[in-house]
Structure 1
Amino acid sequence: MRLARRYGIALVALLLVWATVLFFCSEKIINYDNTKSRSPVELVWWSKHMSWNYDEQRQCGIHTCRISNKRSRLPMARGVLFYGSNIKPGDFPLPRIKHQIWALLHEESPRNTPLISNDEFLRHFHFTSTFSRYSNFPLTTQYLPSGEALTSKDYYVPFSGKSNFGYRPVTSVVFLQSDCDTMSGREDYVKELMKHVPIDSFGSCLRNRDLPESLQKDYLNNLYSPELLRFLSEYKFMIAIENAACPDYITEKFWRPLIMGVIPIYFGSPTIKDWQPNSKSAIFVNDFHNPQELVKYLNKLAGNQQLYDSYRQHKLNLRNPISNQNLLHNLVTRQYHIGDSSSGASLFEKFECAVCYHVINTARNVKADSRHYNCPLEPVYAQLEGQEIPQNVADWRSMMEVGQCQAKLLDEFFRRNLSFTDAEFDAELNRRMEANSCNNSSNT
């Protein structure tokens, strides 16, 4: 009898456990079904530059999102998307709706929208996608197609091959640039270099050579075309100076020569050494006091195969071509790069899905700060002979100061949470600029 009673108690306990499991499982199934039946999460692009009708429903992992540029959808939207290059100071959706997040995409330097680099502006956004490693959706290595592109020998020319071109000097340097007015003073620095070493310049800036006819049509939109890479790979050095010097702002100017097996002469991101394939992969302008000192080093490398090839271990070291663990980790974990041609892999589609996920899964009290787009107010430029200042640096400094004033003024308008027009914003901005009162504006 005791044994039967024990079996009975055990059976009752087992049934209770089973009932509990069924209850919780059914709750999850019901919740999952309810989630599936809900309307898609809505996001709205806030840009007058999107003149076409855009309204799509997209599957972002397990989440379904509706993305449009219809401003009439704003009350239903849980996120508002802004593209930095198209931001207009007098065009923001105010008053803000409490449940909405603001998301910013800006892969460029601050030259076209200088207000973005200021904390007073950034702190009003919950989600960012910029070149900074600290943004929510970092684009630091977006211009590097793949790790294989760095190690491949598709465009590699051995040292002896680069030295066999009798019509080129031993120290062969190429410059290919069509933006001739930059915050970094790029064109001024190259002019100084040209006094000490012959440079083949094929772009519209300081041009002294013409590209082969087959490359002249649209090279700016085909920066990684095989034909262009083969042509440039015959040089030993390539000037790689960014248009602005911001931490983690790295463009094709750095990655392209590395892909070809050409040594970059680099100036730009102060954090660049965090991202090079090995401890010695490029020549950095900041390591030299002036252009003349740099050229002496170029001449030394150009005449010594062992020294020259020590910069190309990502091509020559078959066992360990990339030793930078930070770069290797990024290549595995990054969410976007230009080499991805799969469906839904465009920058804007990736950004939209990242914001959709963020809206659903992340608390909205987390906001951006200056690290999300960390560009200095004072333009940083490459050092010239005799401590000269690049020709246009004063204009760029003024532009950044105007951007700072814009950001402070927007901060005040955002805090008031009332709509305003372009005319109202411009009038107040001009008043403060004329009174030189930007730095004294209220932050309360």
Structure 2
Amino acid sequence: MRLGWRYCIALAVLVAIWLAVVVKFSDKIINHGNAKSSELVEVLWWSRDMETWKYDEVRHCGINTCRITNQRHRLPMSRAVLFYGSNIKTGDFPLPRGEHHVWALLHEESPRNTPFVAHEEFLRHFHFTSTFSRFSNLPLTTQYLPSGQALTSKDYHVSFAAKSKWAFRPSVSVAFLQSDCDTMSGREDYVKELMKYVHVDSYGSCLRNKDLPERQSFQRSAVLQNDYLNNLYSPELLRFLSDYKFMIAIENAACPDYITEKFWRPLVMGVIPIYFGSPTIKTWQPNKKSAIFVNDFPHPRALAQYLVELADNQTEYDSYRQHKLNWRNPISNKILLHNLVTRQYHIGDSSPGGSLFDKFECAVCNYVINTARNVRANSRHYNCPVEPVYAHLENREMPQNVADWRSMMEVGQCQAKILDEFFQRNYSFHEADFEAELTRRMERNQCK
């Protein structure tokens, strides 16, 4: 009996000691956690173009908080380094690179400005990407589509009869609005040949034969004539263009998932886009028949013949506009519908933190805090071919500037290989070092 009491007392003492140890250890864990939480994770923008102003603020990203800065002296304390693709300088990288540094790339443009970005030798040095490719970490594939409601709304819809009433316009009314006149896709060459067979009202700088009006609905519209590039979806512009039956929508480059306002804007207006660009475009159209695709025709003359037939056939014409006319099921594309619900960014988001840069900063902040960084980007994260893809002309002639663009992309591949080698050495280098190596390889024909 006494042995039993002694056993119980000893057991109670052991339990008390165990509890004391647990409580003390728990206090250490809690205090350690609080100490860590008070030290904000820092995210650093690495761009010479941002050095003209100080950018240093605390950003709340859901349950996480980060310090976003452009102060380069904060590099040792930063967990992530952000790069904006269009402003990357080949001699300006934060080397030597610390093991704790996550590199993140934001690049929503085609490769025309920075051709080396398209290549895996460059991309594999980044943990996080945000590009037009659906395979990037923060995809921007449908960023130029304001909303699903914009596709189905009849705010700018004009009936077939109303589109056909204009006596001063031919039945085949085609609009072309473009100010970038030297493209990898051969856009200008294609439109110029199409103009031989159908009339095209060309606004903007390229092949211009008409001016946008200064007045619309009796109100002065500087947006239309002087600043349409910064007002892609202005009501004045949409109302003006919505009277056309067709609008040329040819991208400046043909990369998978690279889809700009050229495709979405005509659909928002209820105008049929004549599209060339992303080879994955049919994956994203609202319905199986929402646009006319240049690749479905052997040359511009065949396309023109189809436009003439379609322009006088209301039933067939409206079959392309079911996203406006089929009120029960306006959008049948489940991939597009899912994207509209799950996407993290689109133009026109005026909510706090809704800008592209805000979204990118928070996405990287959350990634650094929550994600194991053992995965790197690859070519699918940008996904543009080295060989320029262009719209075919009569007799398969090559557009005027394609050879220059091919040469540019080949140089970009050479640049990517040099950067890859420099990054692996992990020593600081300058623009002069990079240019000297590029010149040496080009002179010795060592770029391929």
Give the TM-score normalised by the residue count of structure 2: 0.91
Residues 237-264 of structure 1, C-alpha deviation per residue, up to 9 Å, x if partnerless? 0000000000000000000000000000
2:269 to 248, 260, 266: 260
1:340 and 2:380 matched: no
1:101–1:125 CA contact under 8 A, matched in 2: yes
Corresponding position: 1:360 with 2:347 = no
Aligned to 1:40: 40
Provide the residue aligned with 1:3 in structure 2: none
1:144/1:339 contact within 8 Å kept: no
Q: Which amino acid aligns with 1:158?
A: S
1:155 aligns to what?
156
Q: Residue 68 of structure 2: SS of its match in structure 1?
A: strand
Query: 1:31–1:194: structure 2 CA closer, same or farther, 3 Å change rule?
Result: farther
For structure 1, which runs of at least 5 residues remain unmatched after alignment?
1-11, 440-444
> Percent of pairs identical after alignment?
77
Residue in structure 2 matching 1:233, options 236, 242, 259: 242
Residue in structure 1 matched with residue 7 of structure 2 by the alignment? none
How far off its partner does 1:47 sit? 0.6
Query: Aligned in 2, Cα 1:407/1:360: closer, same or farther, shift over 3 Å?
Result: same
Residue deviations 1:343-372, cap 9 Å, x none? 111100100000000001111111000000
2:39 pairs with 1:30: no
Q: 1:365 to 1:335 in 2, by over 3 A?
A: same
Residues of 2 paired with 1:184 and 1:302: CA distance?
Answer: 26
- Whether the aligned pair in 2 keeps the contact of 1:132 and 1:247 (CA below 8 Å) is yes
The superposition leaves residues 364-406 of structure 1 with CA deviations (integer Å, 9 ceiling, x where unpaired) of 1110000000000010000001111100111111111110000
Q: Distance in 2 between matches of 1:102 and 1:196?
A: 50
1:280-306 deviation per Cα after TM superposition (whole angstroms, max 9, x unaligned): 000000000000111111111111000
Assess if the C-alpha contact under 8 Å between 1:177 and 1:202 holds in 2. Answer: yes
Q: Quote the offset at 1:219 in angstroms.
A: 1.1
Residue by residue over 1:305-348, the C-alpha shift from the partner in whole angstroms, topping out at 9 and shown as x without a partner, is 00000000000000100000000000000000002110111100
Letter in 1 for 2:400: Q
CA contact (8 A) 1:132 1:373 kept: yes
418 and 307 in structure 1: CA distance in 2 versus 1, 3 angstrom threshold: same
Asked if the contact 1:291–1:384 (Cα under 8 Å) also holds between the matched residues in 2, the reply is yes
**Are positions 1:435 and 2:444 aligned together?**
yes
Aligned to 2:165: 164
CA distance in 2, matches of 1:291, 1:32: 69
Return the alpha-carbon distance in structure 2 between the equivalents of residues 364 and 150 of structure 1: 38
State the Cα deviation string for residues 177-213 of structure 1 (Å, max 9, x = none). Answer: 0000000000000000000000000111001011101
Structure 2 counterpart SS, 1:239: strand
CA distance in 1 between partners of 2:252 and 2:288 (Å): 24
State the AA in 2 paired with 1:149. A
3-state SS of the aligned residue for 2:347? coil
> What is the root-mean-square deviation in Å for CA atoms of aligned residues?
2.1
Q: Is the 8 A contact 1:265 1:285 kept in 2?
A: yes
For 1:35 and 1:314, locate their aligned partners in 2 and report how far apart those are by CA, in whole Å.
55
Give the Cα separation in 1 of the matches to 2:262 and 2:357: 22
Residues of 2 paired with 1:238 and 1:132: CA distance?
Answer: 25
> d(CA) in 2 for partners of 1:28 and 1:94?
37
CA distance in 1, matches of 2:441, 2:56: 40
Check the 8 A contact 1:126/1:367 in 2, yes or no: yes
Q: 1:391 aligns with which of 390, 396, 400?
A: 400
The CA deviation at 1:32 is 9.9
Aligned counterparts of 2:153 and 2:404: Cα–Cα separation in 1: 42
Residue of structure 2 in register with 1:280 after alignment: 289
Shift of 1:33: 6.1
1:241-256 matched pairs, under 5 angstroms: 241-256=250-265
Of residues 298, 305, 309, the one that matches 1:296 is 305
TM-score, normalised with respect to structure 1: 0.92
1:52 Cα deviation (Å)?
Answer: 1.2
Aligned residues: 424
Partner of 2:118: 117
Match of residue 442 from structure 1? none
CA distance in 1, matches of 2:37, 2:193: 66
1:177 maps to which residue? 178
Distance in 2 between the 1:316 and 1:89 partners?
50
- Give the corresponding residue for 2:9: none
How far, CA to CA, are the matches of 1:104 and 1:37 in structure 2?
26
Equivalent residue for 1:199?
200
CA distance in 1, matches of 2:56, 2:167: 58
Retained in 2: the 8 A contact 1:94–1:417?
yes
Assess if the C-alpha contact under 8 Å between 1:173 and 1:199 holds in 2. yes
Deviation string 1:71-94 (CA, Å, 9 cap, x unpaired) is: 100000000000000111111011
- Residue aligned with 1:404, SS: helix
